[in-house]
Each structure stands twice: as C-alpha cells, then as structure tokens.
Amino acid sequence: MDDIRNKAQYWLSDIFDTETRDQVKQMLDNDENLLTESFYKDLEFGTGGLRGIMGAGTNRMNKYTVGMATQGLSNYLISQFPGKQIKCAIAYDCRNNSEYFAKITASVFSANGIKVYLFDSLRPTPELSFTIRHLGCQSGVVITASHNPKEYNGYKVYWQDGGQIIDPHDTKIIEEVRKISDVANVKFDDDLTNVEIIGADVDKAYIDKLTTVCINPEIIKSTPLKIVFTPIHGSTVNILPKALRAIGFRDINIVGEQAVPDGNFPTVASPNPEEPAALSMAVEKAKETDADIVMGTDPDGDRLGIVVRKSDGEYLLLNGNQTASILTYYLLEEWNKKGMIKGREYIVKTIVTTELLVEMANFYKVKCYDVLTGFKYIADIIEKNYGETKFIGGGEESYGFLAGDFVRDKDAVMSCMLVAEAAAWAKSQGKTLYDLLIEIYVKFGYYLEGLKSLTKTGKSGLEEIQSMMDKFRDETPDSIAGSTVALVHDFEKSKTIDKISDLRYDIMLPKSNVLQFDLIDGTKITVRPSGTEPKIKFYVSVHDKIDSHGEYEQKTLELKAKIDKIIAELTK
C-alpha cells in the first residue's frame, strides 16, 4: 500500500492540473479502495489496446496516461522510421472525452514532429484503419472503448498496414511508455502545428472502396428491402446510411432517438448490439414498418447486431457466429457461382468462432486460417498473404466481420452493407435471412455456440481469474458433461496434448493465456480471460445434423440444454 500511496503523492505535484490533484487528494484522504484501483498498476495494452475507466490515476484514462502513451508511441515510431516524415491518423467516437483525448494525442504527436491527420468529428474505427493505408501513414490511433459502459474510454493503436498493433510492436511500445517515468517528459504542442483536419474527402474514398465489395448490385436494385438502422448514439450515424444508399438501398429507417451522438447512451443500459435490449427500439420500429431486417452498430462502428424476421413475423437477434456464417456462406456461394474461386482464396476465423466456417471452407475448397482471439490477428494474416493469395472474408464470434483487404479491422459499416445485400439476395428467392440460416445448417451441419462470462473486477478480480486459469491448467478434466476430453490445447505453453494417445504437438500461434478442450463427441470448449474487460470467458460449441427446416427448433432446444449442462459444470 505504501507504493500505491507514493505513486499517488507524485500526482499531487504542480505538473498535474488542479482538477487532477483534487481528485487524487480526495482518494488519499477518504477512499483507500478507489485509490488502490486507480494506482495499483499502469494501464497496459491488451487485445484492444489501452482501455480503462476515466479518472485520475495511473490505472485510469486521463490526459496524462494518454499523453504518456502517445509520447512512448512517438518515441517508438521515431526509432522505427529514422529520417522519415512520420504520419499518423487519429479518429474518435462519441464517448465522453473522446474528442478531448484525440486532441491530446494530436498535440503530443505534433510536438514530436509527427504529421497528424485528425478527423473533424467522430468517425467509425474501420474508417481509421482505411485512412492509415489511404494516406500512407505509419501509425494511427482511435479513441474509443467500443461497447464498454459509459465510464470507460480507450486508445487503440494501429500500424502502417492498418491493423491493430501486434507483437513485437505492442510490447516494444509499452516498453517505451514505461521509460517515461515523469509526466514532465511528455511533449505537448498547444498550437497543433503539424495537424491537418480531414473529413469529407476521406469519407468519399472510404465509401467508394466499400462499394467494391458489393457482388450483386442488380439484385439490390430489383429487390426492395426495408431496413431499420440504429447507431446507438455512435459514430456510424451518418456514414452507414450513405454507404447503404451508395449500393442502391433506399428504404432505410433510422431510429431517431438513437441518432444523436451521446457518450452517456441515454436510451440504453449498454450500447452493445450483442444485447437484445440495445436494439429494442429498433425492433419496435421494424414492427411498425414491417421491415425485413434490423441492424445496429456499437459506438465506434466495428461490431454489428443483426435482427432478422422469422416466418411467423417475429424478430430474432442473430449471434455473432450466425451473422458470420451467413456472410461467409453468401460470399463463398456467390464467388463460386461467378467463377472467382481459383484455388488461391482463403477465409479467416478465430479459435473461438464457429467451426461451421471450416465446413464451408472445405466444401468450397478454400483455405481457412484459425487465429487467436482478436481481430488484429486476422489483419496479420491478411498482411502476410497480401499479393500472394486472395482474402474473401473473416469473422469472429464477438459480432465482427470483414471482407476485402483495404480495411484491416472488423468493419460494421461494410458488414451491414453485406448483410443487406445477402438479405436482398435471399428475398429475391422468396426467403428471409432466417430461412437462409437454417438452410446453411441443413447443408453443412447445425453448429450452436454458447458463451458464459464471469466478471471479476479490480486487483482481486484479476488474481481470481488467474487462479481459475491455473486450476484448469493444472487439473485438466478427463471428461466434461459425460464426454471424454480428447485434446487439450494450451496456447500459453504452445502445446496440444492428445489425452487418448498421450502424444504432444506444437501449436504454431503466438502464446496466449487460453485453454481449449476438444471432446470426443466433437464439442469444443475454450476458457480465456478477456483482453479488454475484467472477465473470464467460457465458450462452448456443440453440433449435430438436421435434415429439414422442421427439425430446427427441437434440435435447438437439445443443443442449448447440452451447452447449459457443460457451462454449469465448468463454472460450479
């Protein structure tokens, strides 16, 4: 505790502004728990970069932690590109303090002689990824905490390929940040000398590129589709409707109450399109207008939630695996019909994303890469294969998808365009996306996934999560829910253990604190701490066959019961 108080005492010095000093003094005098949470560690880069609760302290998002991160990033960029005019792009979303943190970031870059392209107002994260490549930048930053609660903000760092930073850049950047032991070493340029404001021209270039992903423009024009869209107070409010109209959609109803950017997210408990409540207003509008589909995006526009209309007129929120399956099937089927699959194409999924994508890849004879959780690893595969083979699409279970190679992060704008196109394609055949999903299951097998997250906040929570991981690692179960464990994949030790034959195999992926169990009946279970939230996550994937549309609902009940049994056993 003495170390924590000493760190906090430093934040009472004159180098910090009055508001910060007052907050720290209040914690020192009256709130030891808050003091501990604010100072027990420094914010670190996880799968999503820098992210935390806003407030004073080394473990909080504030002017000084953002400034120190940017100074460390500046130092690293200068070391990596000696003698070169370094360029960085900056975007930000609707969150409280996002614009402020973006300008702090621009100020530090500018003071270090780095050319900055700063967006004139909020923009979605994927547009930042596009902009880096479009303007020939060496790096980029977007200020966002994605779909986290309103108390959070974050700082995502991108490299010159447009993807989020990965090893070795991520660890080396944080090393540079740690070298800055005194906030006085952070350079600020209040005049923003090297900053250029960008906006409409980049928007046009981005939308022009997005339209190239469209496969069947003639179907869009000939098949009227009613769309309801909500940006949930976020950054896609203007650009997504423009993108939909650019490929021919006209009947777009926007949820007006949620079309006002607002970091307090006043109409929802959580701005997360994975949750039905976040899309409830949009679904009500869909019922009023008899819409074909509902689409919503998270605050920074990289994740999407899709609601489809069932045959009985009710609406169903798809999970991330289902959306990825529909988009992957549509792309593969149409690429195949148009003779675009030549034997050099591939898709990418993460290790916790549905194995249904593997079945599709095998059927259409394209390669499927499995990567660690985090879209930055999908971007890394695209970069490594760039110019050699052709990326068709890639997705993850956490509601993110991408097609094409000009954006290097999950893109809800592009994905919503593709979902609408797939819906029009299905409607032209007298089907809904719900019908199409069940047809996919009949053709390739019914894969159903479940996720259980346990939240463990604070320092003690992180310790508890690690203790749980250690227990699973040291006491590997022989069976789960009555099915024998056949394979254990330990991504931290880079080893696969075949428990049937007792053989060991190397895992050729970066080390990560993840355990995966393959059961003898085909069930796949993954246990991992979240890289962006104080959670431990349990992923379960089960599958079976169905022969017709009529078997779907009963089989769903059976597979859900199996998932519930497995999760109950894992978390008891």
Per-residue 3-state assignment (H helix, E strand, C coil) for 327-346: HHHHHHHHHHHCCCCCCCEE
pLDDT digits (tens, 9 = 90+) for 22-48: 999 999 999 999 999 999 988 876 555
Active site residues: 146
3-class DSSP assignment, residue 301:
coil
pLDDT tens per residue, range 109-166 = 999 999 999 999 999 999 999 999 999 999 999 999 988 889 999 999 999 999 999 9
CATH class in words for 42-198 = alpha beta
pLDDT number for residue 339: 97
How many whole angstroms separate alpha carbon 376 and alpha carbon 165? 7
Sign for the CA dihedral angle at 95, 101, 106, 107 comes to positive
Cα separations in angstroms, 201 against 106, 119, 126, 206, 349: 20, 11, 16, 9, 33
- DSSP conformation letters of 436-474: HHHHHHHHH-EEEEEEEEEE--HHHHHHHHHHHHHHHHH
pLDDT, residue 516, reads 97
How far apart are alpha carbons 301 and 239 in whole angstroms?
A: 10
Taking Cα atoms as reference points, which of 448, 447, 441 lies closest to residue 547?
441
Query: In the prediction, which pLDDT does 311 show?
Result: 82
**Among 61, 5, 13, 41, which residue's Cα sits nearest to residue 183?**
13
Confidence of residue 385 (pLDDT cuts 50, 70, 90): very high
Q: Rounded mean pLDDT of 384-410?
A: 96
Query: In sequence order, which residues have a C-beta less than 8 Å from that of residue 182 and are 6 or more positions away?
Result: 15
SS3 175: helix
8 A C-beta contact, residue 237 and residue 264: no
Q: How confident is the model at residue 8 (pLDDT cuts 50, 70, 90)?
A: very high
Return the closest-CA partner of residue 476 out of 510, 517, 435: 517
Contacts of 328 (CB under 8 A, 6+ apart): 347, 357, 360, 392, 393, 395
Q: What is the mean pLDDT of the segment spanning 463-482?
A: 92
pLDDT surpasses 60 at 563: yes
Report pTM. Answer: 0.94
Report the alpha-carbon distance of residue 485 to residue 505 in Å, rounded: 16
Asked if pLDDT for residue 533 goes beyond 80, the answer is: no
Residue type for position 361: A
Q: Residues 216-267: pLDDT tens digits?
A: 999 999 999 999 999 999 999 999 999 999 999 999 999 999 999 999 999 9
Per the prediction, the chain carries an average pLDDT of 95
Gap between the Cα atoms of 528 and 398, Å rounded: 14
Class of domain 446-571: alpha beta
Cα 430 to the chain's mean position, in Å? 33
Is 552:463 a contact under the CB 8 Å cutoff?
no
Instruction: Kindly indicate the confidence band of residue 532, based on its pLDDT and cuts at 50, 70 and 90.
Output: low
Q: 71 and 108 in contact (C-beta within 8 Å)?
A: yes
* pLDDT number for residue 48: 55
CATH-assigned architecture of domain 206-444: 3-Layer(aba) Sandwich (3.40)
| 560 contact partners, CB below 8 Å, separation of at least 6 | 448, 450
Domains 42-198 and 206-444 share a fold: yes
**pLDDT for res 45:** 61
Residue-wise pLDDT for 518-528, tens only, equals 999 999 999 99
Q: Residue 101: what pLDDT?
A: 97
Domain range annotation of the chain: 1-40, 42-198, 206-444, 446-571
Residue 199 CB neighbour total at 10 angstroms = 12
Task: Give the mean pLDDT of 372-381.
Answer: 94
Backbone phi and psi for residue 409, each to the nearest 5 degrees, phi listed first: -150, 165
The angle formed by the CA atoms of residues 490, 50 and 53, to the nearest 5 degrees, is 110
Q: Where are the alpha helices (DSSP H) in 31-119?
A: 32-39, 63-80, 98-111
pLDDT, tens digit, for every residue of 81-93? 999 999 999 999 9
Give helix 63-80 / helix 169-179 axis angle, nearest 10°: 120
SS3 407: coil
- At residue 171, the pLDDT reads 84
pLDDT level of residue 531 (50, 70, 90 thresholds):
low
- C-alpha 379/C-alpha 385 separation (Å) is 10
The type of residue at 132 is I
- Alpha carbon distance 297, 416 (integer Å): 9
Is there a contact between 205 and 211 (Cβ–Cβ < 8 Å)? no
The dihedral through the CA atoms of 189, 191, 193, 194 has a sign that is positive
